[in-house]
Amino acid sequence: MAARASAPRGKKAYPLAKVYGLLEPGPVVLVSTARDGRPNVMALSWHTMMEFEPPLVGCVISNRNYSFDTIVATRECVINVPTVELARKVVQCGNCSGRKVDKFEKFGLTPEYGSQVGAPLVAECWANFECRIADDALVDKYNFFVFEVVKAWIDPARKNPRTIHHRGRGVFVVDGRILKLPSRAK
């Protein structure tokens, strides 16, 4: 898919400096890619913030995944943050491979053009981070990619987004109540 200049439908640009606040809590994410015009998406929980700005995100993406080769070849992807309403589709994305299935079509997900990368955004997700590989030094040893978020989008209409966190084997914990404490942390 080609990049474009305007905002994806229903989305608003989100400050890169605030991306960490959405990924640091550890939500399951959907990583979307495109190769030869064919979009694909996988579910992933093994990620961590590595720098505030420009935001760097470390992700373990197994070389057994179809997305691995695409990311190595295209050097880009989109990290999408789904909310609990999408939980079933997230699991479905994890239960099959892009080698055999067009997951966007099969699970009723909508690929949207991004502005910086060729990989598609998953329109149904609350937030979308367009990424390029910043460092592949640990890819061979650990399948660990360091991505730079080059553009961030958020759905400003979502008032109470609740993300999901994977505890293994299809068990998820859903975001509960919010706690505010006097902190000096960023």
Q: Which residues bind a second copy (CB under 8 A)?
A: 18, 20-22, 24-27, 43, 45-51, 56, 58-60, 84, 87-88, 91, 94-95, 135, 137-138, 141-142, 144, 146, 162, 164-186
Beta bridge partners of 133: 147
Query: How many angstroms separate the CA atoms of 56 and 60, rounded?
Result: 13
Least distance in Å: CB of 15 to a second copy? 12
Least distance in Å: CB of 173 to a second copy? 5
Among 104, 105, 126, 122, smallest CA distance to 113 is for: 122
Q: Judge contact between 112 and 121, C-beta under 8 A.
A: yes
Least distance in Å: CB of 50 to a second copy? 5
Output DSSP code: residue 156. Answer: T
Phi-psi region of 102 (alpha: psi -120 to 50; beta: other; left: phi over 0): beta
Least distance in Å: CB of 91 to a second copy? 4
